[in-house]
Structure 1
Amino acid sequence: MILSDFILLSEAEKKTVMLHQGILIAKKANQQFMIFLFQMQAFYVEVFCDKATKQTHEFRVFNQTNQLDPWLDAIPIPDLI
C-alpha cells in the first residue's frame, strides 16, 4: 500500500490495515493519548488513542525519516536487530 491510498481509507479501514499490515515499532504516552508508531511498506503512521475512551483520535502519516527523531528514544533498537 502506498501513502496516498492509506490517506483515502476510512478510519475503520485504516485500523484494519494497521493491524494486518503494519509493524508496531514503538509506543509512548502523554497526558491524554497513547501514541503508537507503525511502519508500513513505504511510510510510517502515528496512531493517537485516547487513554480515557480507548477511541482512535487521529492518524498521522509521513514518509520522511527525519520525522522519526521524536521517536528515537522510544524505539527499542536491540529488539530490531
Structure 2
Amino acid sequence: MRLSDFVLLCPQEKKSVLLHLGVLVAKRPVPGHLVLLFQMDDYYVEAFCHYESREVVSYSSFVDTGHLDVYLEEICLDELLH
C-alpha cells in the first residue's frame, strides 16, 4: 500500500492495515503512551497507544529514515557484540 493511500484511511482501517501488512520493528515509551513502529513497503508508521485505555490514539507516517534515530538510540550495542 502506498503512503498516499494509507493517510486517507480512517483510524480503524489504518489499524487493520498495520496488523495485516505492516511489520512491527520497534517499540518506545513516551509519557502516557507506547509508540509502536511499523515498516510498510517504502515508509514507516508510528502508532501511539494510550497506556491506560490501550487504544491507538494517533498515527504518524514518514519516509525519512532520520526519524528512526530515536529508536536506534535505544539499542545497546554492547549486548549485541557479546
| TM-score above 0.5 | yes
CA offset at residue 75 of structure 1? 5.7
Question: Please, which runs of 5 or more residues in structure 2 have no aligned partner?
Answer: none
Return structure 1 stretches of 4+ with deviation > 4 angstroms: 75-78
- Give the RMSD, CA atoms, in angstroms: 1.8
1:32 aligns with 2:38: no
Say if 1:13 and 1:56 are closer, same or farther in 2 by CA, change over 3 A: same
Q: Secondary structure at the match of 2:18?
A: helix
CA offset at residue 20 of structure 1? 0.4
Moved more, 69-78 or 44-53: 69-78
**1:13-59 superposed Cα distances (whole Å, 9 cap, x missing partner):** 00000000000000011230011000000100010000011111110
Q: Residue 46 of structure 1 contacts residue 61 of structure 1 at CA under 8 Å; is this kept in 2?
A: yes
TM-score scaled by length of structure 2 = 0.86
**Larger RCO: Structure 1 or Structure 2 (Cα < 8 Å, ≥ 6 residues apart)?**
1
| Larger-gyration structure (1/2) | 2
Residue identity (%): 41
TM-score scaled by length of structure 1 = 0.87
